[in-house]
Amino acid sequence: MSDFIFDLKNMKVKPLPDSIIFQRKIIDESCREDIRKQFFENARQFNATICKERDKIMRKNSEVVDVNILVPDKVVEVTFADGTKEKSVCKEPDIFSLESAISICISKKIMGGSSAYNNAVKRGMKAYEDKQKKAAAEKAEQERIEKKCAKRLAYKERRAAKRREEQIAIQAEAYLRAMKSIEDSKNVSKHEGE
């Protein structure tokens, strides 16, 4: 909308009065706010409905019908309501737990299969390892900075000690010269007196 009107009677373009422009802006803003609120409310309700339906389907499909231990303390096979089967294998350093095996099978089923589950676990492990590497790198950097600061501080202390020693040497030299000068002036006065 423009802030001008076309006067058909005089065939001229006239600006709208300020009060009308202000009122139109207020109306536009309030309408936009109402439309925005309604849009977000509809989106929230739609999302909630979709999530409920998805959860209902997932619960129905991931119902455990049968659990078979194929190899004692090693391999478990879980059969679900839709007929699919998932296996969980306990590797050598791990300790076997039937509960963990069933949980892993359910996770595989929900995620869409073993490869998706394994990829998710690998990404999780990589994220954890990256976090550990970053923490180690930050710790090493902090130690490097502290070592550098300590080295710089030791250098400054050595330099200050060296300057003190130089000042002491200069003062000692000045005292020796002064003493020698006093001794020479005494000797000169003794020789002059004789």
SS3 for 28? helix
* 192 has pLDDT over 70: no
3-class secondary structure, 85: strand
pLDDT per position as a tens digit, 45-92: 877 777 777 677 666 667 888 999 898 889 999 998 888 889 999 888
Q: Are 4 and 14 in contact (CB under 8 A)?
A: yes
Predicted local confidence at residue 180, as pLDDT:
86
Domain boundaries, the chain: 1-61, 62-112
Across the chain, mean pLDDT equals 81
- The partner residues of 81 in beta bridges, in order of sequence, read none
